[in-house]
């Protein structure tokens, strides 16, 4: 039963009834309701329990400022910690309160209230500090409640991001924002008008005001219609400007832009100028038990009465220190709410204010000291502000207005400064730090005519001003009242975080006297509140206690997001495989069709690890693939290797600078292995350079480092040698290759058919030639990463699959098989070939790796030369690359530490890799070992948790030490 729904009025559609549940109970509301207005219409007043003390709480506000009731939405649209006032009602909505179990009426945590005096600010930090806070934190967080994160992604729809640019972004479509949009839009500016509400109008949606002699909402309608006709204006509703970053970069969260397909859209907008027309937020007043259900902000009561046709109470006491509550009182009276009294803390409330509610008793110079009742307010005690005996007034609604704070959150995020305005008793925007301005109530213009004018001025930006429409509004005047000093009972400053006046006093007593420290110690203004309702009262309380003016106390930092934003909206479509896509070669599909076990193998390349056959265990497959290469012939896809083409007269000397060895004297048609160091002597990469012609080269890099090497080369070229004639092109995806390797590789090449002379004499190891293979244009390179005779057949990507399939066809008589990266790893370890991720870390230099021959003595300078020399001049022992043979034969885990004698002593190295060698029918490994080069033949010890493995030290090459096979 919607017992508190008014018979007429409101911006709701009474023909559309919506069913919903709250804490398991069924209710009904109307299209246009929020969950808050529907609950109030149903007479529900107790809606929450507070964060720390589990005190009964109700609905306090009507918009994003709601400090009291947070709800968790259940079911398909599960989400947590939403202010109840921002949840649009829909059919089938299911919501529950946070912070209470099993319900707000029967809340087990409410026992905390009895211990409230033992739970002051900082209680947790003080009590749970031994042995450390993190031990207790999970339990306390759980007890503190708040909603659980949804366990599932939304059932339907997705999130997306969008970029936009505009000349003027206007945050807020209230009177000032609409006026600004109209003026700027008519002048042809690209305008984005963004408003958080379900419809434009801002405060006009809640107030009974006239513009140009007609109801204000008619003006809103006509302005909206004109804006909709302007192609240079983009108008978003249900969209919150939640972040204002450097360089006028603004983030907007648009909710349900396209139901049901797009749940939320996060806009990233670069704006020429930003106009903060964000309105103002009403302050609460601070008196005893000011958090009892039934104590509501005046602006909220006005909104419920006018916009939602809901009566939040039958008999109200209004408590104010300013004029705006009198207009609210008039609207309440008109809706049939009895006004028991207006309690005005000012000695002489202005006559113009009193005139709006003739006949209503105004108790001037008086304050509410406390409220009475249990789960909702039943009465208040009113006493003279200067002290004296109080009297009790019965009521079921207390409407409070402590004055207005411009919503300066966005302005502050942009680093704009604030100045305290004595007349308004609040902080106003002062100096802009970026191209930003404020208008309307956000700039302190709290009367409609001023708001319209300031909006028009901001929109015109110095240009011609249009006629400002005529409007009527009550003049605003306020006397600050930061707290009622004779309050009895807990007086809350920040309801969301359960911060009372006593907590702030305690923080000050304990030495936290900077307002930022008070915030951190009490948590006041934190969380989703971000200083909306209670902030100025906290500053005022600090100021009173310290005897300082408010501007000397200052404000805390307002941070993004202004209102909560879901992670989904921030992530957009970047979820699952889209978040970090794989790179593929043209044979990925073939690999998958042929049962390859695929995984990522550096730089997001998706490669085959191994090709299991029926009945094979992992090790069987790897062993078979290794034997295939060592005894017959295998083929693998080497396309992901980083490949760059360098052109220009100065490539030779450029490569001489990058690589440790001399490259410039390489003959055309030949290839050379090279090492790249960073200038501080770290091994960056290794690879092969080919000289295609006098001024044209190809270099390869390891797969994982390709992007970094690209940046490295470009940086050096552009910043150090801008006058050198070198052009670098990334051709990793322009050249793909199939590498045929094994003693029968040449026979496979012949079977494929090629016009290149592939004899050892014509095409020796480290040479290459261009021609055709299987009638496909190809460059054939004699390099080897397996230690066997190898032909790397490079072709255009469009030809790779054809080549690949042809190789496997003609290779059948030779026993060919595709080889995965697991076998490749075994084969390179047997050969002692370097893998940067395994054998190289910070302190390791080329000499340690046995690659001292690659460090040119001839060249006066190259990257890393000076630094390696400098490091080697030190006296500390070097860790050097060796082979290890575990004895007895067993596997050693990668990274296994070597300690002297296997004892509990500092390590002298570690095992970098250990593989099962089919050549030796045993496990072999590589290790970095202190002074390893001079310790061949010694036994070292791998110290593991479950025992010690002795291992014999050998040279770091377990197979074909002379290299006859790869040269064959």
Q: Does 578 bind another protein (CB under 8 A)?
A: no
DSSP for 146-177, please give it. -PPPPSS--SS-EEEEEEEEEEEEEE--SHHH
User: What whole-number distance in Å separates Cα of residue 632 and Cα of residue 626?
Assistant: 10
Q: Which of 453, 825, 831, 865 binds another protein (CB under 8 A)?
A: 865
Selection from 96, 98, 104, 89 nearest residue 23 by Cα: 96
Q: Candidates 10-18, 245-253, 324-332, 511-519: pick the segment binding another protein (CB under 8 A).
A: 245-253
H-helix or E-strand spanning residue 866: helix 865-872
Contact window for another protein (CB under 8 A) among 290-298, 710-718, 846-854, 913-921: 710-718
CA nearest neighbour of 177 among 169, 167, 189, 166: 169
Closest contact distance (angstroms) between CB of 679 and another protein is 7
DSSP H or E stretch at residue 183: helix 175-186
Q: Is the peptide bond before 131 cis (omega within 30 degrees of 0)?
A: yes
Binding status of residue 757 toward another protein by CB under 8 A: no
CB closer to another protein, 876 vs 934: 876
Angle between helices 175-186 and 216-228 (to 10 degrees): 30
Would you say 414 or 454 has its CB closer to another protein?
A: 414
Q: How far is the CA of 477 from the CAs of 297, 305, 762, in angstroms?
A: 17, 24, 98
What are residue 276's DSSP bridge partners? Answer: 171, 438
Give the angle 964-967-968 at the CA atoms, nearest 5°: 80
Using rule CB under 8 A, residue 714 touches another protein: yes
Binds another protein by CB under 8 A, chosen from 718, 733, 734, 760? 718
Whole-number minimum distance, CB 886 to another protein, in Å?
40
Residue 898, helix vs strand vs coil: strand
Whose structure tokens read 């960056």? 684
Contact of 352 with 476, CB cutoff 8 Å = no
Q: Which of 861, 889, 890, 961 binds another protein (CB under 8 A)?
A: 861
- CA 122/CA 280 separation, integer angstroms: 31
Residue 364 in contact with another protein, rule: CB under 8 A = no
Beta carbon nearer to another protein, 247 or 431:
247
Between 90 and 268, name the residue whose CB sits nearer to another protein. Answer: 268
Q: Is 867 a binder of another protein (CB under 8 A)?
A: yes
Site stretch for another protein (CB under 8 A), options 231-239, 340-348, 635-643, 865-873: 865-873
Element spanning 643, H or E: strand 642-647
Q: Rounded to an integer, what distance in angstroms lies between the CA atom of residue 782 and that of residue 802?
A: 21
Q: Smallest distance, Å, CB 619 to another protein?
A: 41
**Residue 694 or 729: which CB sits closer to another protein?**
729
Q: Is 679 in the site for another protein (CB under 8 A)?
A: yes
Distance, CA of 495 to CA of 58 (rounded, Å)? 11
Least spacing, CB of residue 238 vs another protein, in Å: 24
Are 455 and 466 in contact by the 8 Å Cβ rule? The answer is no
* Residue 867 beta carbon to another protein: minimum distance, rounded to whole angstroms: 7
Cβ atoms 244, 226 nearer than 8 A: no
Q: Which of 245, 647, 802, 922 binds another protein (CB under 8 A)?
A: 245
CB-based contact 188:286 (threshold 8 Å) = no
**DSSP string covering 223-241, please?**
HHHHHHT-TTEEEESSEEE
What is the DSSP-derived secondary structure letter of residue 861? Answer: -
| Least distance from another protein to the Cβ atom of residue 601, Å | 23
Residues 95-124 that bind another protein (CB under 8 A): none
Task: From 148-156, 244-252, 442-450, 572-580, give the range in contact with another protein by CB under 8 A.
Answer: 244-252
DSSP 409: H
- Maximum distance among all Cα pairs of the chain, rounded to whole angstroms: 114
Binder among 866, 890, 920, 936 for another protein (CB under 8 A): 866
Nearest by Cα to 19 from 29, 4, 11: 29
Give the nearest distance from C-beta 407 to another protein in angstroms. Answer: 23
Q: How far is the CB of 248 from another protein (least distance, A)?
A: 8
Task: Rank residues 628 and 701 by Cβ distance to another protein and give the closer one.
Answer: 701
Length reported for the chain: 968
Does 875 bind another protein (CB under 8 A)? Our answer is no
Using CB under 8 A, which of 221, 268, 604, 922 touches another protein? 268
| String marking each residue 129-168 x if it binds another protein according to CB under 8 A | ----------------------------------x-----
Evaluate whether 967 touches 765 at the Cβ level (below 8 Å): yes
Q: Which residues of 434-453 are buried (b: 16+ CB within 10 A; e: fewer)?
A: bebbbbbbbbbbbbbbbbbb
Question: By CB under 8 A, what part of segment 165-194 binds another protein?
Answer: none
According to DSSP, residue 441 is labeled G
**Closest Cα to residue 432, out of 454, 411, 462?**
411
In the window 270-299, what residues touch another protein (CB under 8 A)?
Answer: 270
433 scored as a contact of another protein (CB under 8 A) = yes
Query: Least distance from C-beta 870 to another protein, angstroms?
Result: 6
* Cβ distance to another protein smaller for residue 415 or 922: 415
C-beta of 161 vs 664, nearer to another protein: 161
Task: In angstroms, give the least distance from the CB of 577 to another protein.
Answer: 20
Structure tokens at 541: 């309380």
Among 1, 138, 231, 247, binds another protein (CB under 8 A): 247
Q: Does 520 bind another protein (CB under 8 A)?
A: no
CB atoms within 10 A of CB 800: 23
Contact by Cβ (8 Å): 791, 740: yes
- Report in angstroms how near the CB of residue 191 gets to another protein at its nearest: 19
> The tokens of 792 are what?
């790397």
Assign 391 to helix, strand or coil: strand
How far is residue 262 CA from its own chain's centroid?
A: 19
Please report whether residue 711 would count as binding another protein according to CB under 8 A.
yes
Over the window 810 to 849, marking each residue x when it contacts another protein by CB under 8 A and - when it does not, the resulting string is ----------------------------------------
Among 152, 351, 720, 964, binds another protein (CB under 8 A): 720
* Nearest approach, Cβ of residue 401 and another protein (Å): 37
Nearer to another protein, 600 or 714 (CB): 714
Taking CB under 8 A as the criterion, the residue among 680, 757, 809, 889 binding another protein is: 680
Given candidates 415, 583, 647, 872, which one binds another protein under the rule CB under 8 A? 415
Interface size with another protein, residues (CB under 8 A): 25
Instruction: Answer yes or no whether residue 246 interacts with another protein by CB under 8 A.
Output: yes
The residue ranges that bind another protein (CB under 8 A) are: 163, 245-249, 268, 270, 415, 433, 679-680, 711, 714-715, 718-720, 860-861, 865-867, 870, 873
């Amino acid at each position: 039963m919607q017992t508190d729904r008014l018979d007429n009025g409101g911006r709701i559609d009474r023909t559309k009834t919506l069913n919903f549940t709250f804490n398991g109970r069924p209710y009904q509301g109307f299209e246009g309701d929020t969950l808050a207005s529907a609950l109030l219409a149903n007479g529900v007043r107790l809606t929450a329990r507070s964060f720390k003390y589990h005190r009964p709480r109700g609905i306090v506000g009507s918009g994003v400022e709601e400090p009291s009731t947070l709800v968790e939405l259940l079911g398909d649209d599960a989400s947590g910690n939403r202010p109840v006032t921002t949840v649009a009602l829909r059919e089938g909505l299911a919501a529950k309160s946070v912070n209470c179990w099993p319900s707000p009426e029967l809340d087990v945590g409410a026992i905390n209230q009895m211990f409230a005096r033992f739970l002051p600010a900082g209680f947790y930090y003080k009590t749970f500090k031994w042995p450390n806070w993190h031990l207790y934190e999970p339990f306390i967080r759980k007890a503190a409640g708040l909603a659980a994160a949804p366990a599932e992604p939304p059932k339907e729809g997705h999130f997306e991001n969008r970029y936009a640019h505009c000349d003027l972004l206007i945050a807020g479509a209230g009177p000032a924002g609409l006026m600004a949009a109209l003026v700027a839009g008519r002048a042809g500016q690209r305008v984005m008008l963004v408003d958080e509400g379900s419809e434009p109008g801002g405060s006009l949606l809640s107030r009974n005001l006239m513009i140009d002699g007609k109801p204000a909402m008619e003006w809103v309608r006509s302005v909206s219609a004109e804006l909709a006709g302007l192609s240079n204006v983009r108008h978003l509703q249900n969209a919150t400007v939640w972040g204002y970053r450097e360089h006028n970069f603004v983030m907007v969260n648009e909710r349900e832009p396209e139901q049901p397909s797009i749940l939320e859209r996060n806009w990233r907008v670069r704006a020429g100028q930003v106009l903060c027309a964000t309105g103002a937020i009403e302050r609460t007043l601070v008196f005893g038990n000011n958090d009892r259900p039934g104590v509501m902000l005046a602006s909220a009561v006005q909104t419920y009465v006018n916009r939602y046709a809901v009566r939040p109470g039958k008999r109200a006491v209004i408590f104010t220190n300013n004029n705006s509550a009198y207009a609210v009182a008039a609207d309440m009276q008109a809706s049939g709410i009895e006004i028991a009294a207006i309690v005005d803390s000012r000695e002489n409330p202005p006559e113009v204010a009193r005139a709006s509610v003739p006949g209503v008793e105004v108790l001037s110079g008086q304050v509410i000291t406390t409220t009475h009742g249990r789960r909702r307010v039943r009465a208040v005690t009113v006493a003279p502000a200067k002290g004296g005996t109080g009297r009790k007034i019965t009521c079921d609604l207390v409407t409070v207005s402590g004055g207005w704070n411009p919503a300066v959150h966005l302005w502050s995020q942009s680093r704009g400064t604030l100045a305290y305005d004595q007349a308004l008793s609040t902080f106003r925007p002062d100096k802009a730090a970026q191209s930003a301005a404020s208008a309307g109530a956000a700039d302190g213009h709290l009367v409609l005519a001023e708001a319209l004018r300031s909006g028009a001025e901001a929109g015109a930006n110095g240009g011609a001003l249009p006629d400002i429409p005529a409007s009527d509004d009550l003049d605003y005047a306020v006397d600050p009242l930061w707290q009622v000093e004779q309050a009895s009972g807990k007086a809350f400053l920040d309801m969301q975080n359960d911060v009372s006046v006593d907590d702030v006093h305690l923080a000050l007593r304990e030495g936290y006297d900077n307002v930022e420290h008070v915030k951190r110690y009490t948590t006041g203004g934190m969380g989703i509140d971000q200083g909306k309702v209670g902030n100025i009262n906290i500053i005022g309380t600090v100021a009173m206690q310290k005897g300082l003016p408010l501007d000397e106390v200052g404000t805390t930092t307002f941070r993004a997001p202004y209102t909560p934003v879901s992670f989904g909206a921030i992530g957009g479509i970047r979820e699952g495989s889209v978040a970090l896509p794989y790179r593929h070669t043209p044979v990925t599909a073939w690999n998958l069709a042929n049962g390859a076990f695929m995984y990522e193998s550096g730089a997001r390349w998706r490669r085959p690890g191994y090709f299991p056959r029926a009945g094979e265990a992992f090790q069987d497959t790897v062993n078979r693939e290794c034997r295939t290469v060592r005894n017959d012939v295998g083929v693998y896809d080497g396309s992901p290797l980083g490949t760059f083409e360098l052109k220009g007269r100065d490539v030779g000397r450029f490569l001489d600078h990058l690589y440790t060895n001399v490259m410039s004297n390489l003959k055309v048609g030949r290839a050379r292995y090279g090492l790249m160091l960073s200038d501080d002597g770290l091994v960056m990469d290794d690879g092969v350079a080919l000289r295609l012609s006098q001024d044209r080269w190809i270099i390869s890099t390891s797969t994982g480092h390709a992007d970094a090497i690209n940046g490295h080369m470009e940086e050096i070229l552009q910043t150090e040698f801008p006058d050198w004639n070198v052009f670098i092109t990334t051709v990793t995806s322009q050249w793909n290759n199939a590498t045929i390797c094994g003693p029968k590789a040449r026979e496979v090449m012949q079977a494929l058919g090629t016009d290149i002379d592939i004899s050892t004499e014509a095409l020796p190891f480290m040479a290459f030639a261009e021609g055709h293979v299987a009638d496909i244009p190809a460059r054939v390179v004699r390099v080897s990463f397996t230690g066997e005779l190898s032909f790397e057949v490079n072709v255009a990507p469009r030809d790779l699959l054809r080549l690949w399939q042809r190789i496997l066809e003609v290779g059948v008589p030779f026993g060919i098989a595709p080889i995965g990266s697991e076998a490749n790893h075994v084969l390179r370890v047997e050969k002692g070939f370097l893998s940067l991720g395994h054998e190289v870390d910070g302190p390791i230099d080329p000499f340690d790796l046995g690659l001292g021959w690659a460090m040119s003595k001839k060249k006066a300078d190259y990257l890393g030369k000076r630094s390696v020399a400098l490091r080697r001049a030190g006296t500390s022992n070097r860790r050097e690359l060796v082979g290890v043979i575990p004895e007895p034969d067993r596997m050693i885990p990668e990274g296994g530490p070597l300690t002297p004698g296997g004892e509990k002593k500092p390590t002298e190295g570690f095992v970098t890799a250990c593989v099962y060698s089919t050549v030796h029918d045993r496990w072999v490994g590589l290790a970095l070992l202190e002074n390893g080069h001079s310790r061949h033949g010694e036994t070292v010890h791998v110290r593991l948790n479950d025992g010690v493995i002795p291992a014999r030290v050998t040279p770091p090459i377990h197979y074909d030490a002379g290299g006859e096979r790869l040269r064959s």
